Amino acid sequence: MEYRFLGKTNLKVSRLGIGLVKIGRDEMLTEIDKSDLLLNTALDNGINFLDTAACYGNSEEVIGRTVSHRRTEYILASKAGHTVGNQNGEPWSAETIISSVERSLKRMKTEYLDLIQLHTCDVQTLIKGEVIEALEHLKTDGKTRFIGYSGDEKAAEWAVKSKIFDTLQTSLNLVDQHSLKYIGEARINNMGVIIKRPIANGIWDSNLTNRDAPNSYTSRARKMKTLGPILDAPHDYQELALGFVLTNSEVDTAIVGTGNTEHLKDNIKLVNSKLRLNKSTVDDIIGRFNKFDDNWLGQT
C-alpha cells in the first residue's frame, strides 16, 4: 500500500481510505462478524485511514466493537455538527459539537480522535466562528489531534482560504470536479486533502436513463458519455474512477465507502497496482465535465 503525509498533520495515511457510513446500518451491528471481517481485512492489508461520522448510524459503535484493540494501527477521523443520539441542543453550536465528540470517543472506545471534521456546514456557520472555536477547544483538551472541514463548493473554498483547518475533505470524481479549483490552494496551504465519493457511486458504469434530475450524477454522466469512449481509458470502471482521483498529485487519500469485504479487496488490489491514468485520459475527462458544466452543485 502506498502512503502519503496528510498535509501539515504529518500523519502517514494510506492512499486508499475506507468510508464507514455503510457499516452504520442496523444489520452491520446485529451481524457484527461481517463488520469485524471488513475492518480487520482493511487493516491487515495496509489501509490505515478510517472515516466515519457521529450521524452515520451505528458506525462508530461498530468500530469500537471490532477494532478498538488495534487503535495504534489506524488514523481515526470522524465528523460532528448535527445533533445525534439523545442530544437536545441546536445543530452547529459549540455545545453540540463538543458533546458529539465526547459521545464518539465513548462509542469508539478511544481517548482521542486523530481528526475531527465539521460536517458540511455552510459558509455563514463558518464565518460565525462558534463551530471553529469548539474544534480548537477539543484540540486543546487533547480529544482530537487535528481539525478539518468536510464539504464542497463555496464552504470548502472558504475553509481553504481561512488557513484555519489542518485538512479538507471534499468530493472529486468523473462527474463532480469543482474541487479542482481549490484543492491546489489547499496543498499550497499545507492542508491534507481527503477525497470523498471518488467512484461517484459507480454511476458512470450503470444504466443511465432520461428520467433523472437534471443536476444528478446520472444526468451528468449521461451527457458526458455522449462524446463517446474516453481517450485511452482502462476498460474497468473502478480503475478509471480511482485512477482519475489518485493520479492527481494534490490528493493524499481517497475514501471509498463499502460494507462488502470482497469489494474492499478489489479496491486494495487496484490501488496496490499503483494505477495511474495517462494525461490524455485525465484531460479528456476534465474537458467533458467543463463542456457540459451548467453550475452543477454537489451530489443530488
**Residue matched to cell numbers 477547544:** 137
Q: Quick one: residue 274, left, alpha or beta (phi over 0 = left, psi -120 to 50 = alpha)?
A: left
CB 61 within 8 A of CB 26: no
Return the C-alpha cell found at 44.
491487515
Which of 8, 16, 7 lies closest to 272, judged by CA?
16
CB 252 within 8 A of CB 193: yes
CB 268 within 8 A of CB 47: yes
Cβ neighbours of residue 262 closer than 8 Å, sequence gap 6 or more: none
Q: What is the DSSP letter of 213?
A: -
Give the residue numbers marked as catalytic.
Answer: 56
